[in-house]
Structure 1
Amino acid sequence: MKKDAKSTKKKSRMRLLHQYYSYTGFYKFVGKSVKKAIIPILLFIGAILALDYFVLDLNKLLITVTETYSPAGIISVFFASESLLGLIPPELFIAWAGKSAYPIFYLSLLAAASYLGGIVSYFGGVGITKIPAVHRAIEVNMAKHIKNTRKWGGFLIIVGALLPIPYAMTSIAAGIIRFPFMSFLMFGLLRFVRFYAYALVIFEMV
């Protein structure tokens, strides 16, 4: 009887969550995000193939980069990007890792840099709330993102970690609303899943 009661309670809670996310437009938001994400991914793949076929040997270019610049320098640049607004597409760095001496090792370092960059962005969001003028400006520019983070919390962080949308912005919004830090760390681990999943495709291409 107790198990049945627990099972019913769990189903009721899941049903209520489903209704809430349906009512607030979470599923629609995810659908739009996926559609938006697919286009840049396809464009990126097309650009790489076109660049490799018509302009230059991409393999040679990536090998040149690995021979010219130190891995520490490249990963530092990526970490800086992921700590700000995710200005440089991670796919470029994943392609670099694929041509490095130790692809999985450097891919893991990139994923860790992205994860740590999200933490820096989170605390950046927390810090912003302590500067009224900056806080007001950021809330205007990121109003929709902050509103969505308040509504959907952890689920939006999961989407930000997995989909090719700037993870830094999601992290900043999480910091601004003071989303529980330990939960943020846990959901952010999905960033590693994203990097390994994308590497399966990009490593084959380059």
Structure 2
Amino acid sequence: MKKKAKSGKKSHIRLLHQYYKYTGFYSFIFKSLKKAAIPLLLFLAVIFIVDHFVLNIEDMLKVITTKFAPGQVLGIFFTSESLLGIVPPELFIAWAGKSSAPFVYLTLLAAASYAGGIVSYFIGIGITHQKKVHDLLENKLAKHIKNTRKWGGFLIIVGALLPIPFSMTSIASGIIRFSFSSYLIFALLRFARFYLYSLVIFKMI
């Protein structure tokens, strides 16, 4: 009985592998990783150039941390993460690195991003009740919606970890009514993204 169960599990995994391979999930991941590497490297290059030839990044971040209250910065970031990820999270990670408590503010940023994703999810649900808005955004987010329907939770994981606007993935998840409880679990990887990126960014500033 155990052997049969094990065999069944293996065949299920094999079927999933074939499905993701056939639907292009692996090539999508590879392309996303390439796309993710470019903006991250560009951001680090800009930070390096500005810091060495234009102005001292460390001093600039210190000015920001003293001029703006942490609540204001977190509020701006939460708004950005709720509305299509307007501002790159890397800028806020750099801000956290120069704050009085880097790990605490990094965690608060990750929590704000996670909460912003939840807001985006419900924006997606709300859109389904507004036909004109739904039709407009469905065209603009057609690729995200199509991919979310195909790959579900795996796409949410990719959106949480890679520098793809997480808000778009969250809105698409809401539009197709992806399981909210599953969304909350997969989206927790947003925290991992912030901690991993901070390992590089904190050393650069």
Structure 1 length as normaliser, TM-score?
Answer: 0.99
- CA deviation digits over 1:27-46, x for unaligned, max 9? 01111111011110100000
Aligned to 1:135: 134
The corresponding residue for 2:91 is 92
What is the RMSD of the two structures over their aligned residues, measured on CA atoms?
A: 0.4
Cα deviation for residue 6 of structure 1 reads 1.3
- Residue 102 of structure 1: aligned partner: 101
Query: How far 1:25 sits from its partner (Å)?
Result: 0.3
Name the counterpart of 1:204: 203
Q: Which residue of 1 aligns with 2:34?
A: 35
- Which letter maps to 2:178? F
> Amino acid of the residue matched to residue 56 of structure 1?
L
Rounded Cα–Cα distance in structure 1 between residues aligned with 2:3 and 2:195: 39
Q: Kindly provide the amino acid, as one letter, of the partner of residue 15 in structure 1.
A: R
Moved more, 45-54 or 138-147: 138-147
User: Aligned partners of 1:188 and 1:55: how far apart in 2?
Assistant: 37
Correspondence for 2:57: 58
CA distance in 2 between counterparts of 1:14 and 1:58 reads 48
Letter in 2 for 1:168: S
Structure 1 segments, 4+ long, off by >4 Å, are none
Once the two structures are TM-superposed, the CA of residue 4 in structure 1 deviates from its matched residue by 1.0
Matches for 1:109-128 after TM superposition, within 5 Å? 109-128=108-127
Tell me the SS of whatever aligns to 2:87.
Answer: coil
Distance 1:106 1:3 in 2: 48
Could you tell me which runs of 5 or more consecutive residues in structure 2 were left unpaired when the two chains were aligned.
none
1:155 corresponds to: 154
Q: CA deviation at 1:74?
A: 0.1
Q: Which amino acid aligns with 1:5?
A: K
CA distance in 1, matches of 2:164, 2:130: 26
1:68 aligns with 2:67: yes
State the alpha-carbon separation in 1 of the partners of residues 202 and 5 from structure 2. Answer: 46
Structure 1 spans left out of the alignment, 5+ residues? none
Shift of 1:5: 1.2
How many aligned residue pairs are there?
A: 205
Deviations 1:38-57 (A, max 9, x none): 11010000000000000000
Identical pairs, percent: 63
Alpha-carbon distance in 1 for matches of 2:202, 2:6: 44
SS at match of 1:87: coil
In structure 1, distance between residues paired with 2:171 and 2:16 = 25
After superposition, the C-alpha distances for 1:41-89 in whole angstroms (9 at most, x for unaligned) are: 1000000000000000000000000000000000000000000000100
CA distance in structure 2 between the partners assigned to 1:80 and 1:141 by the alignment: 21
CA distance, structure 1, for counterparts of residue 100 and residue 199 of structure 2: 17
- TM normalised by structure 2 equals 0.99
